[in-house]
A and B are shown apart, each in its own frame.
Chain A
Amino acid sequence: MSSLSRDEVARLAGLARIDLTETEIDRLAGELDVIVESVARVSEIATPDVPATSHPLPLTNVFRDDVPAEPLPVDDALAAAPAAEGGRFAVPQILEED
């Protein structure tokens, strides 16, 4: 299995939307390399004939009747927001300007 390079860690941190310092990238690259090498052994027994399991117990989808109910009051929902305006969450610009 391929080893985890410094560049790869930086790319993954970008995908995961986590700013890392240069020091963090260096340290994580070393640590993750060891961990990945260790967990890669799952492939030793994961042969094509073995079905995958995503969940511990068999589940079926759950439906409920569409009954109107009292939602969380807007003020409660916004109480912990970093910023709010006019009964809504106020967030930074989502799209880059062109």
Chain B
Amino acid sequence: MPGRHAAGPSSELTRLSAAELAEALRAGRVTSVEVTQAHLDRIAAVDGAVHAFLHVSAQDALATARDVDARRAAGEELHPLAGVPVAVKDVVVTKGMPTTAGSRILEGWVPPYDATLVERLRAARMPILGKTNMDEFAMGSSTEHSAYGTTHNPWDLERIPGGSGGGSAAAVAAFEAPLAIGTDTGGSIRQPGAVTGTVGVKPTYGGVSRYGLVALASSLDQAGPVTRTVLDSALLHEVIGGHDPRDSTSLTDALPDLVGAARRGATGDLTGVRVGIVDELNGEGYSDGVRARFDESVALLREAGAEVVHVSCPHFGYALAAYYLILPSEASSNLAKFDGMRFGLRVEPEDGPVTAERVMAATRGAGFGDEVKRRIILGTYALSAGYYDAYYGSAQKVRTLIQQDFAAAFEQADVLVSPTAPTTAFRLGEKLDDPLAMYLNDIATIPANLAGVPGMSVPNGLSDDGLPVGFQILAPARADDRLYRVGAALEALLESGWGHPLLAEAPELPTTVTVPTTEESIR
């Protein structure tokens, strides 16, 4: 691989995809301890500059790796990804491992249970490298709203890695982890994927259990894979996906054959696939470089045999407005549990009587950051007497119209496509004082969450500023396999043109050894 990162046997391992690592482990060419240690070394070397991790669980990861190696040596039948390490966004609860959701209010909290998806990672015996940085409670598009410092984009350390899952995307882009878990409420997997040159998938709503996710907006939240290749996303999606009786919104259908779809797509043949360009998710507000890469990718899909049509989703222009009513409303209710009574921070008021109500207000005043306060108060307003019908009620009607737009579009096309984000990564701090400008980053990703349909972002080149651009693919609910077929085809066609994966063009990162490799939090 024509990478420009430092050479050496250990760094070579961090350049491999999860599928390649799985094959090397199965064939006995490498041990899980070697693979896991290589990634811990990489974290130690570059995370001082990237700050993708809030917590590195080196001892836990190495214990899992040793166990896998022993079982493999004994001839035990193991999961295909056994021994391949993974990073987990800090919004997912992990037993015995700190979970903060990027908030001061949960500083030091160690959950007493595992999220279902973490149980599944552990059942597959995948070493968990640690917890990744994020905007506080997943509210943001830049990871600048984390209470524990911002994550830096590996392509340009002065720029944002996207958000809210900037930590997971940056960890994967910086070769600190081959795989990561993200969550996507309005684009928090896909938009970071686009701006870091990685693959991110938001499964169909209910496709991956939400049990053990710190809820932001329960009707929108969905966990999914963050990886460097489409096949790796399919492999990870199959580990974490599927019905969970502990999540009442979990789909009962069997997962489609995602890995099979990715392998089929990688042949580069899309004969008979109808691809719909969403006219409303292109044009004004999208940068020239983003639009140029999008047009080139569509041309590649056409050459691969796809039938390309234009579809109109006339109500998508209202999706952002509806989202910023529905999300704050649901968040204001979900975040009521942070009351300083049972876990997390407790702050007593400076004066006056120490009642539960006043302790709750003091705790939340001290423990929540600006964006969280902004959205809780916006949600409280949207749900309050006299305004409910005009705001929350209207937003729910817009949601119906957006679902109808999708239904009509999917009669004309098997998948819909658009740029994932309107621009490449912006500079740190650039939009921090303008919440509305920040919200516009998710303009192309939000409709999928409102309708519950699955979406993927695939890196499709560099813009004229040398920064990565993402291509979004959307499919009907429960047809996640279509994302993998089309995504893998596009990836194969693009990489055969470039001669290498896009991330091979990322600059070398400055290395420092400031991060502990032992069981220790970084902050």
Contacts and interface: CB of A to CB of B under 8 A. Distances in A.
A28 B112 contact: no
Residue among A34, A42, A61 with the highest chain B CB neighbour number at 10 A = A42
A72 B400 CA distance: 40
B381 A32 contact: yes
Interface residues of B, number: 75
Contacts of B346: 82-83
Contacts of B205: 56-57
A51 interface: yes
Nearest to A9: B377
Interface residues of A, number: 58
Contacts of A28: 373-374, 377
Interface string A23-58: 010001001101110111111111100111111110
A16 B356 CA distance: 14
Contacts of B364: 16-19
B435 A31 contact: yes
A72 B113 contact: yes
A28 to B, nearest CB: 6
Nearest to A15: B380
B435 A35 contact: yes
Residue among A36, A52, A89, A93 with the highest chain B CB neighbour number at 10 A = A52
A31 B357 CA distance: 27
Contact of B390 (A9, A16, A40): A40
B110 A41 contact: no
B395 A18 contact: no
Contacts of A31: 374, 435
Contacts of B365: 18-21
Contacts of B449: 56
Interface stretch (B33-41, B290-298, B337-345): B337-345
Contacts of B325: 39, 42
A79 B353 CA distance: 27
Contacts of A76: 112
B318 A80 contact: no
A80 B109 contact: yes
Given A12-B384, A32-B377, A43-B394, A18 B361 contact: yes
Contacts, number: 185
Interface string B346-360: 101100011111111
A71 to B, nearest CB: 11
Given A32-B374, A40-B390, A17 B400 contact: no
A15 B333 CA distance: 12
Contact of A35 (B322, B341, B436, B450): B436
B359 A53 contact: no
Interface string A54-67: 11110101101000
Secondary structure dominating the interface of A: loop
Nearest to B350: A19
A14 to B, nearest CB: 8
Interface string B72-105: 0000000000000000000000000000000000
A73 B112 CA distance: 9
Given A34-B436, A79-B110, A41 B378 contact: no
A83 B359 CA distance: 13
B206 interface: yes
A27 to B, nearest CB: 8
A46 B380 contact: no
A44 B451 CA distance: 20
Contacts of A59: 248-249
Given A19-B361, A56-B450, A35 B395 contact: no
Contacts of A62: 245, 248
Interface in B285-333: 315, 318, 321-322, 324-325, 332
Given A46-B393, A56-B451, A18 B398 contact: no
A19 B322 CA distance: 28
B357 A17 contact: yes
Nearest to B478: A57
A1 B401 contact: no
B391 interface: yes
A42 B373 contact: no
A42 B398 contact: yes
Nearest to A43: B394
A80 B343 contact: yes
Interface string A66-98: 000000100011011111000001011111100
A1 B110 contact: no
B373 A12 contact: no
Contacts of B376: 16, 18
Given A39-B322, A42-B395, A53-B400, 19 more contacts: A8-B381, A12-B381, A18-B373, A32-B381, A40-B321, A42-B391, A46-B394, A53-B403, A55-B219, A56-B205, A56-B452, A57-B204, A81-B341, A81-B343, A82-B340, A82-B345, A92-B348, A93-B353, A96-B355
6 contacts: A17-B361, A42-B397, A46-B395, A54-B399, A56-B450, A59-B249
Closest 10 CB pairs of A and B: A56-B452, A19-B365, A46-B394, A82-B346, A52-B396, A46-B397, A76-B112, A80-B343, A42-B394, A50-B397
Interface of A: 1, 4, 8-9, 12-21, 24, 28, 31-32, 34-36, 38-47, 50-57, 59, 61-62, 64, 72, 76-77, 79-83, 89, 91-96
Interface of B: 109-113, 204-206, 219-220, 245, 248-249, 251, 315, 318, 321-322, 324-325, 332, 336, 339-346, 348-349, 353-362, 364-366, 368, 370, 373-374, 376-378, 380-381, 384, 390-391, 393-401, 403, 435-436, 449-453, 477
